[in-house]
Amino acid sequence: MNINGVTIEDTFAEAFEMKATRIIITAMDRRWVGHAAETMTGFATSVIGCGIEAGIEQYLEPEETPDGRPGASVLLFAISGKDLTKHLQNRIGQSVLTCPTTAVFSGLAGKPTAMGEGVRYFGDGYQISKLFGDRRFWRVPVMDGEFVCEATTGRIDAVGGGNFLVLGETAEQTLRALEGAIEAMGHLPGVIMPFPGGVVRSGSKVGSKYKGLLASTNQAYCPTLRGVADSKIGPEVGAVMEVVIDGMDPDAVSRATALGIQTVCAFGPENGILGITAGNFGGDLGQFQFPLHEVLA
Amino acid sequence: MNINGVTIEDTFAEAFEMKATRIIITAMDRRWVGHAAETMTGFATSVIGCGIEAGIEQYLEPEETPDGRPGASVLLFAISGKDLTKHLQNRIGQSVLTCPTTAVFSGLAGKPTAMGEGVRYFGDGYQISKLFGDRRFWRVPVMDGEFVCEATTGRIDAVGGGNFLVLGETAEQTLRALEGAIEAMGHLPGVIMPFPGGVVRSGSKVGSKYKGLLASTNQAYCPTLRGVADSKIGPEVGAVMEVVIDGMDPDAVSRATALGIQTVCAFGPENGILGITAGNFGGDLGQFQFPLHEVLA
Amino acid sequence: MNINGVTIEDTFAEAFEMKATRIIITAMDRRWVGHAAETMTGFATSVIGCGIEAGIEQYLEPEETPDGRPGASVLLFAISGKDLTKHLQNRIGQSVLTCPTTAVFSGLAGKPTAMGEGVRYFGDGYQISKLFGDRRFWRVPVMDGEFVCEATTGRIDAVGGGNFLVLGETAEQTLRALEGAIEAMGHLPGVIMPFPGGVVRSGSKVGSKYKGLLASTNQAYCPTLRGVADSKIGPEVGAVMEVVIDGMDPDAVSRATALGIQTVCAFGPENGILGITAGNFGGDLGQFQFPLHEVLA
Amino acid sequence: MNINGVTIEDTFAEAFEMKATRIIITAMDRRWVGHAAETMTGFATSVIGCGIEAGIEQYLEPEETPDGRPGASVLLFAISGKDLTKHLQNRIGQSVLTCPTTAVFSGLAGKPTAMGEGVRYFGDGYQISKLFGDRRFWRVPVMDGEFVCEATTGRIDAVGGGNFLVLGETAEQTLRALEGAIEAMGHLPGVIMPFPGGVVRSGSKVGSKYKGLLASTNQAYCPTLRGVADSKIGPEVGAVMEVVIDGMDPDAVSRATALGIQTVCAFGPENGILGITAGNFGGDLGQFQFPLHEVLA
């Protein structure tokens, strides 16, 4: 398969079931929404090292939020429901409760997961519970008034680790194409690309020669190791970059994969884009497979 | 004491000794420096919940960095040297090793603290050590070439928790003044303001009525609790905001405190700025005291 | 007079009567509001060379705009009502009519000034007029639907050329302080600072040794000419920067002047801020005078 | 022809010969480069209304600029060499000479065109000429030191008005795809997209029913006029957007057209992208033709 002169390898991305939620953060204006949402989703690239993977799904206009203020929807993914609850509450406590003028709401139906339930104790007994319809909110007194936090959010089974890899002539060319792709994919609902700028350059394999290390560099895709180790890339490839996609369901991951690959391929070989492939573990580890040729059909 | 019609309370900020380091992150261009530095310093508002407090000290021009590329200097603060080492290595592994085209260097002399020493194992034996003068670097093969990471950085005793509080008529007015102050303080070397947008609205006291909770809302500064609990703010105060300052030494904290307060006071009562105070625990807990009237003298 | 160790010269800023209007631009989202408003107010630093002085007064939340979409209020100043009408219509035609999803509304009562009245002819006869209450709108068919443009906006007598000058040790230190000041002043209603980044470094005097040139460099404030021409700055001054303020009325200019000077002075001599003065022509040319000591009282 | 389910009409874009130059603006840091370059290229969407079409080609790292400071390359297009010289000098005078810490250099060999030659008179006789090799520079004393401006820049024959049109289901979907395309095209050398955000929604035809109007709305592409006038768009098309491309040579325009179309098509019909076409005047007016099927081959 070939798009605009770029070869698409006949392989599949392997992804994993994760627990996910969506929350809505609102604030006085877009600037303070951004401060809270960016801080909360910082250092959230991988569940292994950060406990949680998180990102801003999109910024919201006032008419799209529960309290009619500017907002952002944030997606969070964890390995278990317990982990999700723990890290969600900690991150709200550190990055949203602290942030001037913010409030937090559930952005998803699903299995109830404690949110304000945990944060409310900061109120030291001065917090108040309010019921609107069947939704419960906690109002916690703080120095700028009250922090409103919905008691629970919903949790669903979702998909972590969707991905594709871009083989390019140089790092700069590959990133130029991926900057366009990440911008494009960022408009799709239900997905985040949790790594810095949406891109990973430290592709890994399972295991290591060092005891206790779960993952290590995937030498098959390292350009400097082409003569030293078994390599999967030709001499024309100077850089490989991966996009990792977490999505609320397989369709969302599939759509984002297709749009991302199409956008990268728009740059073509004349801008240094040589090939597309995907990362998998032979199909035995993950619950989901995304065959590139099907996704792009 | 009074600046531009704003009363400065005769009190002091109480701060704590912490362990700190400065690292330099470089990348292909300013955009990717930003992705790495912002991700790495995200969710780093408080050592209690995040393990580490971190922020971007400043962006650097190519001529200011070890490898002549655009960069950023990042400051990190932890409670102990052990914590600093652990969280530094984890954050580099999650947010910088992963980020396309980046490299990491020590930005500080001081007690040697492992940095690349830990990260290098990702190379699975393919990493190479290089000595330039008396500085050792690890070159770890990754998909876009090599990740260069200095083996160690330096660590010093520093100051965490410098602060001042702004008493304002409304949350909006108080934040408008603080946006100017944070912008101004951001130009000073040696300090970070680790909370979202540089401001905290969830001021806390030590302890809680709930067992096991180390801190809870400081009702004395909550406008909605004025009639309910002992209050330190008058009826004209609609919002209180705190700026927390971590600095490489007491002088840096002192200078940042003075500039921040002066900038906020520039807005004056006609823009809703009513008073300035500071947070302390009576002087018994912290190693440092910053008396406001001395700092502003 | 002295603020935080910075000398405030006992002089006045001289300013001029200009004709001004406020318009409201709205669009699908904040991004496209920004594209239109920034393009429209670009190259609008001085009436002499650009025909008009213009700037974004503030971004508006949906509930603050006539059509409930995100918006921006833009202020425009010209020498005469005729000039204002001409340049307003041309800039709407080039930068707003062309910009996807935008609409334009009057943001000011006052003497009616043609706006949509002129732009409507682009509709080639397909445009439609609508009356809501006593406000008339033109709906001009375009490729993304219709461009809605209010028929007239209001015009008032306003103030152009309010100003203050900052004497600093170095250009970098002076700009660092002014970046904070411009950020702060940007929150005030009714004013714009029309020069790039809000600051001018090419202060001018009236006239020139070259025939036909209306203005030329003001050698008295040029650090490199201290030994060559009559100078008003001492040897410790390495850079002088001016902030020019256009305002909807004298009070707005006065408030902005005070806030700007206070913010700059917050940086103090330890950050290279040495003195404040203002530009005037002896008081004979301009209709308005802003004595610094009164403005700051 | 069909890309990812999107029909590419078998037509051509018609473009015009224009005179163009490239200048390099540098400043103390990226922020002030941006202030100058954005102000200078504001309100420069069309030669008809603005006298000149201009845009930022790219930001430059210090090692890419003549004086080793951060910079930006700016492209400017005009109808004649005389117009180019006039508007270039005026815009430098209003937006760069005024902007703190900036300098301006030629970024192009070609027919010499006065630049600093005109601006130097602001120096009122205090300006100094310097020769480096065969390049002459003017040093004009200003309040922050000296404004360095190269005496001349080079001018070439270039291409204005390259274009393509996107037919989409809704304005929002069409813009989402175009945001990705403009981001992608922005990385290519030698082109600018001069309209706000790179997109035009007010497509025009030559002439009008009103005397003296040179252009008016192109009713054939207005969705609201489908039943009223001859239409070129089907009922499924809710919005049409145009991208206008000015380039330093036909190849640059061709490459940008291809990348832009490919990126938009990556979004596909499932994201509301229905068709691609181009604007022409039958081939009789412009010196250049860009047949879409050839450009995309």
Q: Do D267 and A179 touch (CB under 8 A)?
A: no
Residue count of chain D: 297
Compare all CA atoms of chain D with the CA of A256 and give the residue at the minimum distance: D267
Q: Report which of C169, C164, C166 is spatially closest to residue C269, judged by C-alpha positions.
A: C169
Q: Report which of A71, A70, D50, D127 is spatially closest to residue C43, judged by C-alpha positions.
A: D50
Question: Which of C179, C184, C270 shows the shortest C-beta gap to B266?
Answer: C184
Contact between residue C266 and residue C180 where contact means Cβ atoms under 8 Å apart: yes
pLDDT of residue D185: 92
D240 neighbourhood in chain C, CB within 8 Å? 143-144
Interface test with B, best of A43, A86, A147 (most B CBs within 10 A): A43
Q: Is the pLDDT of residue D272 over 90?
A: yes
Contact between residue C266 and residue C6 where contact means Cβ atoms under 8 Å apart: no
Shortest Cα distance from B88 to chain A (angstroms)?
12
Question: Which of A176, A259, A270 shows the shortest C-beta gap to D266?
Answer: A259
Q: Is the pLDDT of residue C273 over 90?
A: yes
Backbone angles phi, psi at A89, to 5 degrees: -65, -40
Q: State the Cα–Cα distance between residues C290 and C13, nearest whole angstrom.
A: 5
Secondary structure of residue B259 in the 3-state scheme: helix
Strand partners, C142: C145
Q: Do A61 and C70 touch (CB under 8 A)?
A: yes
pLDDT of residue C260: 95
Question: Which of D179, D201, D208 shows the shortest C-beta gap to C124?
Answer: D208
Secondary structure of residue C160 in the 3-state scheme: strand
Compare all CA atoms of chain C with the CA of B296 and give the residue at the minimum distance: C4
> Which of the 8 DSSP states describes residue D63?
G
CA C23 to chain centre: 14
Q: Do B184 and C263 touch (CB under 8 A)?
A: yes
Q: Which tens digit of pLDDT belongs to each residue from B155-165? A: 999 999 999 99
Q: State the Cα–Cα distance between residues A125 and A207, nearest whole angstrom.
A: 49
Q: Which tens digit of pLDDT belongs to each residue from D41-86? A: 999 999 989 999 999 999 998 889 999 999 999 999 999 999 999 9
Shortest Cα distance from A91 to chain C (angstroms)?
28
Q: What is the pTM of this model?
A: 0.89
Q: Do B70 and D61 touch (CB under 8 A)?
A: yes
Contact between residue A219 and residue A229 where contact means Cβ atoms under 8 Å apart: yes
Q: State the Cα–Cα distance between residues C148 and C145, nearest whole angstrom.
A: 10
Q: Among positive and negative, which fits the CA dihedral B226, B232, B236, B241?
A: negative
Q: Alpha-carbon Rg of chain D, whole angstroms?
A: 21
Alpha helices, DSSP H, located in B96-170: 116-119
> In this complex, which chains have at least 3 CB pairs below 8 Å with chain D?
A, B, C
Q: State the Cα–Cα distance between residues A192 and A142, nearest whole angstrom.
A: 31
Compare all CA atoms of chain A with the CA of D268 and give the residue at the minimum distance: A259
Shortest Cα distance from B9 to chain C (angstroms)?
18
Contact between residue D126 and residue C228 where contact means Cβ atoms under 8 Å apart: yes
> Which of the 8 DSSP states describes residue A171?
H
Q: Which tens digit of pLDDT belongs to each residue from C197-249? A: 999 999 999 999 998 888 999 999 999 999 899 999 999 999 999 999 999 99
Q: Is the pLDDT of residue A214 over 90?
A: no
User: B-side interface with D, Cβ within 8 Å?
Assistant: 29-30, 61-63, 68, 70
D101 neighbourhood in chain B, CB within 8 Å? none
Q: Which tens digit of pLDDT belongs to each residue from B232-267? A: 999 999 999 999 999 999 999 999 999 999 999 989
Residue type, D36: A
Q: Residue A44's pLDDT band (boundaries 50, 70, 90)?
A: very high
| B238 CB-side CA count, 13 A | 10
Phi and psi based region of residue D183 (left: phi greater than 0; alpha: psi -120 to 50; beta: remaining): alpha
Give chain D's mean pLDDT: 96
The H or E element spanning position B77 is strand B71-78
Q: Do D217 and C126 touch (CB under 8 A)?
A: yes
How many of the other CB atoms lie within 10 Å of CB of B156? Answer: 16
Q: Residue A249's pLDDT band (boundaries 50, 70, 90)?
A: very high
Q: Which tens digit of pLDDT belongs to each residue from D197-232? A: 999 999 999 999 998 888 999 999 999 999 899 999
Q: Do A179 and D183 touch (CB under 8 A)?
A: yes
% pLDDT > 90, chain A: 92
Question: Which of B180, B268, B271 shows the shortest C-beta gap to C183?
Answer: B180
Q: Do B68 and D70 touch (CB under 8 A)?
A: no
Q: Which tens digit of pLDDT belongs to each residue from C31-81? A: 999 999 999 999 999 998 999 999 999 999 888 999 999 999 999 999 999
> In this complex, which chains have at least 3 CB pairs below 8 Å with chain A?
B, C, D
pLDDT of residue C63: 86
Compare all CA atoms of chain B with the CA of D68 and give the residue at the minimum distance: B63
Q: State the Cα–Cα distance between residues A136 and D34, nearest whole angstrom.
A: 47
B34, C249, D168 from B31: Cα distances, Å: 5, 41, 31
- Give the least confident one: A37-41, C184-188, D5-9: C184-188
Shortest Cα distance from B91 to chain A (angstroms)?
7
Q: Which tens digit of pLDDT belongs to each residue from B65-112? A: 999 999 999 999 999 999 999 999 999 999 999 999 999 999 999 999
Q: State the Cα–Cα distance between residues A250 and D269, nearest whole angstrom.
A: 20
Q: Is the pLDDT of residue D264 over 90?
A: yes
> In this complex, which chains have at least 3 CB pairs below 8 Å with chain B?
A, C, D
Q: What is the 3-state secondary structure (H, E, C) of D165-216?
A: EEEECCHHHHHHHHHHHHHHHCCCCCEECCCHHHCECCCEEECCCCCCCCEE
Residue type, B11: T
Q: State the Cα–Cα distance between residues C90 and C84, nearest whole angstrom.
A: 10
Contact between residue B25 and residue B104 where contact means Cβ atoms under 8 Å apart: yes
Compare all CA atoms of chain C with the CA of D194 and give the residue at the minimum distance: C39
Q: Do B143 and A225 touch (CB under 8 A)?
A: no
> In this complex, which chains have at least 3 CB pairs below 8 Å with chain C?
A, B, D
Q: Do D180 and A263 touch (CB under 8 A)?
A: yes
Tokens representing residue A87 in the block: 């890290």
Secondary structure of residue D225 in the 3-state scheme: helix
A99 neighbourhood in chain B, CB within 8 Å? 195-197, 199, 201
Q: Is the pLDDT of residue C297 over 90?
A: no
Question: Which of B176, B184, B271 shows the shortest C-beta gap to C266?
Answer: B184
Q: Report which of A162, A116, A153 is spatially closest to residue A260, judged by C-alpha positions.
A: A162
D70 neighbourhood in chain B, CB within 8 Å? 61
Residue type, D266: A
pLDDT of residue A212: 86
> ipTM of this model?
0.96
Degrees, nearest 5: CA angle A125-A127-A133 = 140
Q: Which tens digit of pLDDT belongs to each residue from D103-132? A: 999 999 999 999 999 999 999 999 999 999
Q: Report which of A290, A14, A67, A269 is spatially closest to residue A167, judged by C-alpha positions.
A: A269
Secondary structure of residue B129 in the 3-state scheme: strand
Q: Report which of D260, D291, D3, D271 is spatially closest to residue A2, judged by C-alpha positions.
A: D3
B256, C242, D31, D291 from C267: Cα distances, Å: 10, 16, 20, 59
C183 neighbourhood in chain B, CB within 8 Å? 179-180, 183
pLDDT of residue C135: 94
Question: Which of C30, C63, C68 shows the shortest C-beta gap to A30?
Answer: C30
A63 neighbourhood in chain C, CB within 8 Å? 62, 68
pLDDT of residue B187: 86
Q: State the Cα–Cα distance between residues A201 and A198, nearest whole angstrom.
A: 10
Q: Do D267 and A255 touch (CB under 8 A)?
A: no
Mean pLDDT of C147-173: 97
A145 neighbourhood in chain B, CB within 8 Å? 171, 223-224, 238-239
Contact between residue A240 and residue A218 where contact means Cβ atoms under 8 Å apart: no
pLDDT of residue D214: 86
Give chain A's mean pLDDT: 96
A70 neighbourhood in chain C, CB within 8 Å? 61
Question: Between β-strands B273-277 and B6-8, what pairing exists: parallel, antiparallel or unpaired?
Answer: parallel
Q: Do A61 and C68 touch (CB under 8 A)?
A: no
DSSP codes joined into one string, C230-247: --SS-TT--EEEEEEEEE
Decide: residue B134, CB within 10 A, 0-12 exposed, 13-18 middle, 19+ buried. exposed
Question: Which of D29, D61, D68 shows the shortest C-beta gap to B29?
Answer: D61
Shortest Cα distance from B186 to chain C (angstroms)?
10
Strand partners, A21: A76
Compare all CA atoms of chain D with the CA of C223 and give the residue at the minimum distance: D145
Secondary structure of residue D98 in the 3-state scheme: coil
D177 neighbourhood in chain A, CB within 8 Å? 184
Shortest Cα distance from C167 to chain B (angstroms)?
18
Residue type, C112: P
Contact between residue B82 and residue B102 where contact means Cβ atoms under 8 Å apart: no
Compare all CA atoms of chain C with the CA of B176 and give the residue at the minimum distance: C187
pLDDT of residue D163: 98
Q: Do A183 and D187 touch (CB under 8 A)?
A: no
Secondary structure of residue C196 in the 3-state scheme: helix
Q: State the Cα–Cα distance between residues B292 and B183, nearest whole angstrom.
A: 21
Shortest Cα distance from A52 to chain B (angstroms)?
11
Q: State the Cα–Cα distance between residues C227 and C235, nearest whole angstrom.
A: 10
Question: Which of C179, C259, C270 shows the shortest C-beta gap to B266?
Answer: C259
Q: Is the pLDDT of residue D261 over 90?
A: yes
Give chain C's mean pLDDT: 96
Q: State the Cα–Cα distance between residues B52 and D218, nearest whole angstrom.
A: 60
| Distance separating the N- and C-terminal Cα atoms of chain A | 10
